[in-house]
Structure 1
Amino acid sequence: MKLKSLLLGIGLLAGVGAAQAADPFKIGFVYVGPVGDLGWSYEHDRGRQELEEYFGDKVETTFVENVPEGADAQRVITQLAKAGNDLIFTTSFGFMNPTVKVAKQFPKVTFEHATGYKRSKNLGTYVLRTYEGRYVSGVTAGMMTKSDTIGYIGSFPIPEVIRDINATYMGAKSVNPNVKMKIVWVNSWYDPGKETDAANALIDQGVDVLMQHTDSPAPLIAAEKRGIRGIGQASDQSQFAPNAHIFSVRDDWAPYYIKTAQAVMDGTWKPADFWGGFDEEMLSLASINDNLPADVRSKIDATFTAIKSGEFKPFTGPITDNKGNLVVADGYSLNDQELAQVNWYVEGITDEVPR
């Protein structure tokens, strides 16, 4: 009887162990836009899908799209935590404070917030060095412009966007001392109508190379219709503007999502501030157009290589802001913490940073 009971006990324990082993690791994602925006949220969701493909039935993912930055975000993040997700990625700057609040309420859940700067015991941050792609974009725009006027469509005046505007202009200025930049803000991450209006307004002001920090292909479509050039945002947007498209700066979040999920499952995860760019192959230049002049293509390749290798860092001084202040000393390169706090325009940008 004792032997039979022991065998039954072992059998029950084995059954429980098998059931526990079969339980997938649950991961939630929160997107600010639709997965079909063909930009920022689209690429985050591609990363989620690649994560699922990598781990197979070991993981189970959930996503919520079109989440406004504010009270709705906190509600959605809370729901994902209550639903038993072990790891939650919140993928927009405006989700920062809601993520911090929910992380405090659910200390056993691991949280990761994209583009933010607030961390805690169970909350890490991650961001792409998009300014690397913007600098190459600026170099290209500076060489391609015939009117010496390039345009930038801004979403919100947060450090990430201000930093990228500066990188774009510094890149353009490095090859074209006469270049001017015009900026239009749409106060939205994804609004094809506003983005189209902004693109047309810039083109009407003489802009002939267009860049954006918004997520739809609408600006590129406008560039194609108006006969100017443009650079795609976040994903490969070449299909929307076969003639206008120069290249797209593509984000690839999959390596980070896979690495982070594995670390949490292994129990080795620790909160950190991660930055990925060309060197980590999380940022790339997608579908460089064959219709570019040879000297432009050569300069694109050389600039990309110099940044990827670390030979050149875009935010290396001396850099003066547009009020005449030395903001980066000669020979000094801004570190990640300083890059995350850029709130000034470089010399030559005539606009004021919106407050």
Structure 2
Amino acid sequence: MSIATLKTLATCVVALAASTSAIHAVAADPLRVGVLIPGSKSDKGWMESGYDGLVAAQKELGPKLKTQMIENINYADMEQALTNLASKNQLVIGVGGQTQASVLKIAKRFPNVKFAIVGGNKGQDMPPNVAGYDVKQAEIAYVAGAAAAMLSKNGAVSYVGGMEIPSIVNAGKEFGNGARSINPKIKYFESYTGDFDNVSKAKEATLAAISQGADVHYHILNLGLRGMEQAASEKHTHVIGSYTDRCGTDPLYIAYSITGVGYQVQYAIDQMAAGTWQPGYKAFGLAMGPKASGMVVCSPTPQMSTKIKQIEQDIESGKIKVSEG
């Protein structure tokens, strides 16, 4: 073998080694994900469920995932926060339908970044780099209403929502419909505080319902839930929690509706990591299984469990029609 041939082979070996090192370096780069949580990650509600999903994804993927989170952002600062996340990450997740308008705007400025909206609504045109995940809150609110009617001793239940927007109003409507499906004569009180985080208004609304006999309360609130808890604790009534099953941790709570906020955060990250992420609207709800949506009564009777399961199946099959959202 000539000296020239040996030199050529040596050059090829060096080039191959350099190429292999480059491939390994690229493979070792973690997936970068930014998450915007408009409220508090410890609100015992929607935002905390979203944060739990982020934590679960980090635990699952380990060093393959690098995350950046921004929380407690008001509407005026949302676009700036999303711009910050989009400039540093491959995937940006907005936790809550209230992020949708800002996400749709910022996504157009970052066409190479993927965006996901947990609580995204159907009907709005989405850029090709945006996915909207619908938690189908109205579905599970109907089931929660049925559970509340079965659990109520006074024959009166209440619902307190935050902002009076279609998805929150539809959930309240279906909670009432679910309660009436069990007890047509049940008293149902529905109110909105105009703010997911206003503790005093949530307490005031819950106390007003209690004064009229309500003894089981449901909600779509964030930090405002603290007000409902205070009212229920003072008046010895009970709450049906949302988003995550925490049965056994607080006697104030007698049931939980699962709305899979954290599940959807983890879903977006897993899809991105696997290279299977898809844009567009995607409905979750009962059809996606118990991690996405379900009803958990903490101490159910066998009859109660059977009835709740039947209602869930009837919603899935379309026998029971519920509102969008």
TM-score between the two structures when normalised by the length of structure 1: 0.80
Residue equivalent to 1:65: 71
Cα distance in 1, alignment partners of residues 266 and 150 from structure 2? 38
Q: Is 2:67 the partner of 1:77? A: no
* Deviation by residue 1:116-168 (Cα, 9 ceiling, x = unmatched): 33311111100212222211221122334454432111101111111111111
How many Å apart are 1:293 and its aligned residue? Answer: 5.8
Q: How many residues are paired up?
A: 312
Q: How does 1:88-99 map to 2 (within 5 A)?
A: 88-99=92-103
The letter for the 2-side match of 1:180 is: K
Query: Which of the numbers 33, 42, 47 marks the counterpart of 2:53?
Result: 47
For the residue of structure 2 that corresponds to 1:11, the secondary structure is: helix
Matched, 1:205 2:212: yes
1:35 is aligned to 2:35: no
Distance 1:147 1:266 in 2: 51
Deviations 1:274-295 (A, max 9, x none): 1112231211223x232x5665
Contact 1:71 1:98 in 2 (8 A): no
2:146 corresponds to which of 139, 143, 147? 139
Question: How many Å apart are 1:257 and its aligned residue?
Answer: 3.9
- State how far apart, in whole Å, the 1-side matches of 2:148 and 2:86 are: 44
The one of 228, 237, 242 equivalent to 1:228 is 237
Is 1:246 the counterpart of 2:254? The answer is yes
Q: Please identify, of 255-264 and 121-130, the stretch whose mean Cα deviation from structure 2 is larger.
A: 255-264
Cα 1:229–1:254 change in 2 (3 A) is: closer
Partner Cα separation in structure 2 for residue 294 and residue 255 of structure 1 = 28
- Which residue number corresponds to residue 327 of structure 1? none
Is the contact made by 1:51 and 1:254 (CA closer than 8 Å) also made in structure 2? no
Q: Which runs of 5+ in 1 are unaligned?
A: 316-333, 341-355
SS at match of 1:18: helix
Give the AA of the match of 1:228. T
1:16 to 1, 19, 22: 22
Say what the alpha-carbon RMSD is for the aligned residues: 2.4
State the Cα distance separating 1:86 from its structure 2 match.
0.5
Partner of 2:185: 178
Partners in 2 of 1:211 and 1:260 — Cα distance?
Answer: 28
Listed as ranges, the matches of 1:119-198 within 5 Å are 119-198=126-205
TM-score (norm 2): 0.86
Instruction: Determine if contact 1:43/1:234 at 8 Å carries over to the other structure.
Output: yes
- CA change 1:144–1:269 in 2 (3 A) is closer
Of 250-259 and 158-167, deviating more is 250-259
Aligned-partner Cα distance in 2 for 1:240–1:214: 19
Aligned residue in 2 for 1:318? none
Question: CA offset at residue 31 of structure 1?
Answer: 0.6
**CA distance change for structure 1 residues 10 and 294 in 2, over 3 Å: closer, same or farther?**
closer
Unaligned runs of 5+ in 2: 1-6
The answer as to 2:218 corresponding to 1:215 is no
Deviation for aligned residue 1:106: 0.4
CA distance in 2, matches of 1:40, 1:306: 26
Query: C-alpha separation between the residues in 1 aligned to 2:255 and 2:189?
Result: 20
Paired residues of 2:143 and 2:295 also in contact (CA < 8 A): no
Query: CA shift at 1:226, angstroms?
Result: 1.0
1:284 aligns to what?
Answer: 294
Letter paired with 1:247: A
Residue 320 of structure 1 corresponds to: none
Structure 1 residue 225 displacement after superposition: 3.0
Q: Is the 8 A contact 1:29 1:91 kept in 2?
A: yes
Q: Higher relative contact order at CA 8 Å, sep ≥6: structure 1 or structure 2?
A: 2
Tell me which protein shows more helix as a share of its residues: 2
The 1-side partners of 2:284 and 2:91 are apart by: 20
**1:116 to 1:28, Cα distance in 2 relative to 1, 3 A:** same
Which of residues 295, 307, 313 in structure 2 aligns to 1:299? 307
| Kept in 2: contact 1:150–1:181 (CA 8 A) | yes
Q: Is the 8 A contact 2:158 2:216 kept in 1?
A: yes
Are 1:128 and 1:276, in contact at CA under 8 Å, matched by a contact in 2? yes
Bigger CA drift: 162-171 or 214-223?
214-223
